Structure 1
């Protein structure tokens, strides 16, 4: 079996037996890279392999022989960065949540839907590490196109801190479903971290919101235009649409008046049957975000450097961990055209 994997310096290959396990993969990678602690991610959104929980599982049973893996130093590792990265100068700056400062804040991103005589608008969420919770909360408060499936919850139920508590309660109340293998760490550690306002939410949180509120969540990836739908196949009759830049969630809404400025009139939920026009419009929006604004970051590839202490890391989790531990906010992204 030949596997492809990416590191900060490029793409490499690794030869393994056809029945190789996750543990054998880690040992081979550590030996090849000369690193004692690594994190291996696969899929989209990126998921981390766990030797503790998946060590004896074969790579083929996980379908990893068809994946291009991403390998980064473990968050607790003090591995020295390759010289090619250390000598690189940076050209694009990022703020504390990783969004490029040359992004879309303050800009009006919209797509006119001619067939519907309405307009899709991107509601940009604050860069406060709670973008997913704010995006979902606003979608739950918004106006649906039909009265079917209206949510009977008080407005304060949608605040980020309340939605975080909802996630934690759901995990604690369903220990057989949300195991360490699913969460990537012990449920207790995951819940403790999720209650901190500097912890990002992701697919696990969306799946919980989908189950609790009986909604589908379609997430459009800016870089590739791909769409994943959480809750699909559960016969839910409404759907929300989010945009994912690789490090940040924003909310897609529909407005009836092209110059509508009041968000209380936003349509944020659509019937699951017949809302393909919204997804196609969101794809067009993401193409504009990608081509005209470079509003995306590949979290499995992006290399970041702290200008305050010289630390270099790769990926979303490493960035979040460094900012949380040190409080350093002067972070830059090292890009391919920086050399």
Structure 2
């Protein structure tokens, strides 16, 4: 296989998962609103599969919630998008290097995004072949550089009252207590 794995930065705007999938599947970094609608429609169409026990909230509440651009996506949304595109998505956690199965490949260092190959044939043994080794190498390099957000321990400052909080849990508690939802990460 020719090429290298590169990291394409997607703005961390709470819709990064959706825009990353849109980029990988369609080379479009602005797919979040459309993909959020796809997910909501999928969930609404199967209330038995997507029950309150599965979603952590009622089907109807989830469908409204996931269309809010301030809400993050995760495993449920990746699963639905993999079905929607008919592809397996490789999602790497840079902090732990765990792979749950997405990545970009470029034919050469510095190649423009339009040259990126983002979909790979599955090799024998259900791997993506040499691209998988290259992706893991990139993930480990990014882990070493700490280019991830540790949502359990990151430090945030409330943009309204300037109080500092640690981790997503404290931020959610502060938001629920005060109604403040404008946070910035600081170090």
Q: Secondary structure at the match of 1:217?
A: coil
How far apart are 1:311 and its partner, in Å?
A: 5.5
Q: Which runs of 5+ in 2 are unaligned?
A: none
Structure 1 equivalent of residue 82 of structure 2? 210
Q: What SS does the corresponding residue of 1:326 show, helix, strand or coil?
A: coil
Higher strand share: 1
Q: TM-score, normalised by structure 1?
A: 0.48
TM-fit CA distance, 1:202:
0.9
Measured in 2, the distance between the counterparts of 1:286 and 1:257 equals 18
Q: Secondary structure of the residue that 1:312 maps to in structure 2?
A: strand
Matched, 1:297 2:182: no
Structure 1 runs of 4+ with >6 Å offset: none
Higher helix share: 2
- How many correspondences in the alignment? 181
> Are the counterparts in 2 of residues 313 and 319 from structure 1 also a CA contact under 8 Å?
no
Aligned to 1:201: 73
- Rg: which structure is higher? 1
Kindly tell me: are residues 123 and 325 of structure 1, through their superposed partners in 2, closer, same or farther at Cα, counting changes over 3 Å? farther
Find the residue that maps to 1:283 and give its secondary structure.
Answer: helix
* Superposition deviation, residue 131 in structure 1: 0.4
C-alpha RMSD over aligned residues: 2.8
Q: For residues 61-72 of structure 1, what are the structure 2 equivalents within 5 Å?
A: none
Instruction: Give the equivalent residue in structure 1 for 2:24.
Output: 139
CA contact (8 A) 2:97 2:143 kept: no
Normalised TM-score (structure 2) = 0.83
**Structure 1 318/215 Cα, relative in aligned 2: closer, same or farther at 3 Å?**
farther
CA contact (8 A) 2:156 2:171 kept: no
From the superposition, tell whether residues 218 and 331 of structure 1 become closer, same or farther in structure 2 (CA, over 3 Å).
closer
Query: 5+ residue gaps in structure 1?
Result: 1-115, 143-154, 230-240, 242-251, 334-339
Q: Does the 8 Å contact 1:304/1:312 carry over to 2?
A: yes
Q: Which residue of 2 aligns with 1:287?
A: 140
Aligned counterpart, 1:253: 104
8 Å contact 1:220–1:226 — kept in the other structure? yes
Change (3 A) 1:322 1:280: farther
How far does the alpha carbon of each residue in 1:7-49 deviate from its partner, in whole angstroms, 9 at most, with x for none? xxxxxxxxxxxxxxxxxxxxxxxxxxxxxxxxxxxxxxxxxxx
- Shift of the 207–279 alpha-carbon distance from structure 1 to 2, 3 Å rule, reads same
Query: How far did residue 253 of structure 1 move?
Result: 1.3
Give, in angstroms, the shift of residue 159 of structure 1.
Answer: 1.9
318 and 310 in structure 1: CA distance in 2 versus 1, 3 angstrom threshold: closer
Partner Cα separation in structure 1 for residue 82 and residue 139 of structure 2? 23
After superposition, the C-alpha distances for 1:152-186 in whole angstroms (9 at most, x for unaligned) are: xxx89x72111110000000000000011111111
Distance 1:209 1:285 in 2: 24
